[in-house]
Structure formats: structure tokens, C-alpha cells
Amino acid sequence: MKNCVRFCLVALVLSSTACEKQESEEVCQNSCTTVTGRLVTANGQQPIPGANVVAKWMNIYGLSVSAKGKAYCKTDDDGNYTLSFYVNDNELLDGYFQIFYSVDNNRYYTIGEPSVGLYDVKRDTAFHLDNFVIPRKAYVNLIITNQDQLIADRGQFTSSFNSCYGFNSVFNRNIQGGGAGISWNGLPTANPMPISGDQPILVRSYKTKNGVQTFSTDSLFIPAGTTQNYTVTY
């Protein structure tokens, strides 16, 4: 099962240049394939109710992406969802299936369009996906006290904000992803910057100053809907 499931944190490749054709959903009567899972937030401790979940069959023809709706549902009060659809003959041979999760982007922190890819899908098969984490949204106000010196020295100073996201649901010192990576030479246009709220964030920073490379870690916890300053010095 794990071999046929791939996690996709970004929108489809080619989405910025391709023309996507949408087709309507179908109703499965027999030999149905089912997909079950759960959407959670707050480091996986709380459910996300009422989120839209859509299954699509995706196929790429050159620069054109065909997207055919297969099933739709909403998560229940516990964040659970069940999708059921029939795999057509042509869908057994070509393309793949994508499960898309849609939440309120004003309340939740998303990276691209949250989705999961299913490959080599057969008829009358059951897929049970692991819990999928979508954090609530908070903001971090990025401050560097001596950016002029960093630029004048032509130094390097980067930080990444790592937290639970998607199937990456266990927070530890090795966690990677689930947040932005920034360069302190030039701060993001969106500052305060959206970030995971209501769950721990591991900040990894790499600095090159006077030819000496250093690495450091820090931690953040920002309640959802709030903004917290994060200050560094080169």
C-alpha cells in the first residue's frame, strides 16, 4: 500500500502552463474502490470537520492535464472521510488518482494544494490513508538586527521553519519540511509570514560569516490567529 501512495504538497507540475480539462463526478454502483482517511490539525491532536475532499483521475497529455472528478465528500465531526468510485477500463491503464483536500485558507496554513497521489489503483480495492495534518494558521514577524552588515559582508544566512504537515505527523529534532525556508539577506514580501499555528516549529539556521559556517536550532510555538516576532542577528 505504501508503495502506491505518494504525498504531494504542491499543485500539479505544469499547472502554471497547462490547460486543465475538468469532467464531472460519477456514481459507483459495484466493484467500487474506496479511500478512507482523516484530516487533523494542532500537531495531529484535533480533527478538521467539514473539509471538502475530492477524488480525481488525472492524466497528462503533453502540456494538457485532464482532471476527471470521481467522488466528493466532506469530513465528519471527527475529521474522517470516505470516498467511493469505479475505476474505468482506461483508468486502469493510464494516469493516476489524486485526492485533494480543501480547507478555509484564512484559518489553515497550506503549502500549495494539499493532496495525495494514488498509483496503480485497481477496482474493488480499499485504501486507508494515514492521518493528514493541516495546521491552523499563525504568523511570524521576521526581524534581523543587522541586515546591512550581512549584505555588505556578502555573507549567507538562511533559516527553515519545520513542523508537522501532511503525512509528516511526528514532531522530533529530525523533522523536515512543513514550512517556509527564507534568506535573511532579503526577507519575504509577505512579512509577517504565514506559518503553522498551535503546534511546535523547529527552526534550523545556517550562517556563513567571515568564512566560518555555523548551524543552530531554535523552537517556536505560536497560537493560531496570532503573530509573534522572531529576531536574529547576523
Confidence at residue 10, expressed as pLDDT on a 0 to 100 scale: 36
pTM of the model: 0.86
Q: Specify whether the CB–CB gap between 163 and 199 falls below 8 A.
A: yes
Q: With H, G, I as helix, E, B as strand and everything else as coil, classify residue 103.
A: coil
Return the SS3 of 147.
Answer: helix
Spatial separation of the C-alpha atoms in residues 133 and 135, rounded to whole Å: 6
Which pLDDT does position 113 carry in this prediction?
95
Q: Nearest-CA neighbor of 233 among 170, 141, 149?
A: 149
Q: Give domain limits for the chain.
A: 2-133, 137-232
Instruction: Give the architecture-level CATH label for domain 2-133.
Output: Sandwich (2.60)
Greatest CA separation for the chain: 68
Per-residue DSSP letters for 39-50?
A: EEETTTTEE-TT
**Per-block average pLDDT, block size 10, for the chain (234 residues)?**
40 37 69 98 97 96 88 98 96 96 98 96 97 99 97 96 96 95 95 98 97 97 98 97
Sign of CA dihedral 149, 152, 155, 158: positive
CA-based Rg of the chain, rounded to a whole angstrom? 21
What is the C-alpha to C-alpha distance for residues 51 and 53, in angstroms, rounded to an integer? Answer: 6
Beta bridge pairs of residue 52: 74, 102
* Distance from C-alpha of 153 to C-alpha of 144, rounded to nearest angstrom: 15
Q: What is the pLDDT of residue 13?
A: 38
Tally the residues of the chain: 234
Residue 58 confidence (pLDDT): 97
